[in-house]
Amino acid sequence: MERKLYTARLERKICISEPAQCFHFEFVIDELESFPFTSGQFVSTLAPDVNGKQQTRAYSIASAASANRFDLCVNRVEGGFFSNHLADLTDLPPSGSVKVHGPHGHFVLRTPVTDSILIATGTGIAPMRGFTQWLFPEGGPDRSEGKEIWLVFGTRYETDLYYQEEFEALAAKHPNFHYLATLSRAGDGWTGLRGYVQDHVARIVEERAARLNQVLPLPPVDPTTPATELNFDIYAYICGLNNMVAGVREKLAGYGWHRKQIIFERYD
Ligand SMILES: Cc1cc2nc3c(=O)[nH]c(=O)nc-3n(C[C@H](O)[C@H](O)[C@H](O)COP(=O)(O)OP(=O)(O)OC[C@H]3O[C@@H](n4cnc5c(N)ncnc54)[C@H](O)[C@@H]3O)c2cc1C
């Protein structure tokens, strides 16, 4: 099936981490009045490489749907093609643009909203920003329905905590939104959390189970239960590189979590 290709014009580009060479992009699709998508989905970007071969890559949308706009969060990959192509686009007139199709993907919040643990490393934070913008829209009605939402964001260094101020502001405003930033290679001056995301996810799961008088591991779900009747009171959404995703999935499976409770997007 022929996919509709759009031209996304770069309106704004900000380097959000110089050491990680990570950029925040704001694109506008001028030919559309609205570009609807569900938070967490991705766009496919297309461009010819130096040999004229058309290259396509997936990038998670780093915002909630808003008219004909969408944001991306992309870091340069050494020796990579598309990440550098995007990072080299200019937002100065005449501004750069990129061909896109989409939205695509099933990495979206399950509804109705439940308690949720959002777990990301690196640019895996992109769809999480989409989720939080949808759950807690600025100037709009809160869609979190009072559920507990944890965002566990892991990076190596403090300089790579993308969108830190936005998430801190959200946590200060919404008592049911909990922002946990953890560094695996923190310097001496860092007073926040340390270690890998798995450890902090484990603490959240154990403390919640204790609060609800649940015994871990949870009893297994009857395997004959039809998928449509599986209702969970908490989901985990994991995004980043495969190693981390596998580590968190294993941890949660060890607590008796059902595989359908664990929703993930792998970048590699
Ligand atoms: C559904 C989905 C959503 C994605 N969303 C994002 C996003 O929001 N932001 C983002 O920055 N990336 C995202 N990615 C990764 C992105 O699609 C590209 O793989 C990445 O930008 C590298 O592409 P490239 O053309 O620069 O490198 P390539 O030319 O494809 O690869 C060059 C080399 O780098 C390695 N490599 C590929 N990807 C990575 C990586 N992520 N980290 C380290 N090494 C890598 C390859 O194995 C290869 O050896 C997503 C991937 C998927 C599948």
Model pLDDT for residues 101-116, shown as the tens digit of each residue: 999 999 999 999 999 9
Q: What share of the chain is helix, strand, coil (3-state, %, to 5)?
A: 25, 30, 45
Q: What is the mean pLDDT of the chain?
A: 97
Euclidean distance between CA atoms 255 and 64, whole angstroms: 32
Contact 171, 183 (CB under 8 A): no
145 Cα: distance to centroid of ligand 1 (angstroms): 34
What is the structure's pLDDT at 87? 98
Q: Using 50, 70 and 90 to split pLDDT, how confident is the model at 2?
A: low
- Residues with Cβ within 8 Å of 61's Cβ and at least 6 positions away in sequence, in order, are 37, 39, 40, 41, 42, 43, 70, 71, 72, 103, 126, 127, 130
**Section 204-219 average pLDDT:** 97
pLDDT band per the 50, 70, 90 thresholds, residue 44:
very high
**pTM of this structure:** 0.97
CA distance 126 to 122: 9
Residue range 115-266 in CATH 3.40.50.80:
yes
**pLDDT, mean of residues 205-212:** 98
Q: What percent of the chain has pLDDT over 70?
A: 99
Half-sphere exposure of 148 (CA within 13 A, CB side): 13
Tracing tokens 């890559």 back to the chain, one arrives at 57
The single-letter code of the amino acid at 1 is M
Which of 125, 267, 268 is the best mutation target for the ligand 1 pocket, counting ligand atoms within 8 Å of the beta carbon and taking the most? Answer: 267
Joined tokens for residue 176:
């049911």
For residue 267, report the distance from its CA to the centre of ligand 1, in Å: 6
Domain boundaries, the chain: 6-104, 115-266
The class (CATH top level) of 6-104 is mainly beta
- Residues 162/123, Cβ–Cβ less than 8 Å: yes
Instruction: Measure 177 CA to ligand 1 centroid, in angstroms.
Output: 29
* Structure confidence at residue 247 (pLDDT): 98
Q: How far apart are CA 143 and CA 132, in angstroms?
A: 10
